[in-house]
């Protein structure tokens, strides 16, 4: 079964990326987790994302495109990255999600991946 592990970090966790005192522990924890994921052989794809302030949101309202820079203002967690993994069960995917560094300060959403759509349907 394929699942997307969606890593959500708090603003404080994202700030650790650039804090000279906190960055080594932050990146070290992620490096160890990603290394373990890759060594397990379950990773199909994935990427980390740049900080939320680099985001741009697009909405269409009344047929007009509206663009807003930065993260959506009402959020308490920011999307930090994701992996697509293939595991034997949801329980296995949840085990990997619980091991993520952001699971204790933010959250990890686990979602089944839809199969490819048939264009002829």
68, part of any domain: yes
Q: What's the pLDDT score for residue 72? A: 62
CATH code for the domain of 70: 3.30.70.1060
Q: SS3 for 78?
A: strand
94, part of any domain: yes
117, part of any domain: no
Q: Measured between alpha carbons, how far is 55 from 91 in angstroms, rounded to an integer?
A: 32
120, part of any domain: no
Q: Which residues contact 109 (CB under 8 A, 6 or more apart)?
A: 4, 5, 6, 8
118, part of any domain: no
- Please check whether residue 76 is in contact with residue 10, taking contact to mean a CB–CB distance below 8 angstroms: yes
- pTM comes to 0.84
Nearest Cα neighbor of 52 from 35, 34, 69, 37 is: 69
Report which DSSP code applies to 100.
S
**Residue 55, φ and ψ in degrees, nearest 5:** -75, 155
39, part of any domain: yes
**In the chain, how many domains are there?**
1
75, part of any domain: yes
119, part of any domain: no
Q: What's the pLDDT score for residue 89? A: 95
**pLDDT beneath 70: ranges in the chain:** 71-75, 119-121
- Please check whether residue 49 is in contact with residue 79, taking contact to mean a CB–CB distance below 8 angstroms: yes
Task: Give the domain extent around 33.
Answer: 2-112
Q: What's the pLDDT score for residue 62? A: 93
């Amino acid at each position: 079964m394929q699942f997307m592990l969606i890593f959500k970090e708090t603003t404080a966790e994202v700030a650790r990326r650039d804090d000279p005192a906190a960055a080594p522990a932050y990146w070290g924890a992620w490096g160890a987790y990603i290394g373990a994921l890759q060594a397990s052989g379950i990773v199909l794809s994935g990427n980390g994302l740049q900080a939320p302030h680099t985001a741009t949101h697009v909405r269409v309202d009344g047929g007009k495109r509206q663009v807003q820079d930065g993260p959506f203002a009402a959020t308490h967690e920011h999307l930090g990255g994701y992996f697509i993994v293939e595991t034997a069960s949801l329980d296995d995917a949840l085990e990997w999600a619980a091991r993520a560094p952001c699971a204790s300060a933010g959250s990890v959403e686990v979602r089944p991946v839809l199969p490819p759509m048939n264009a002829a349907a």
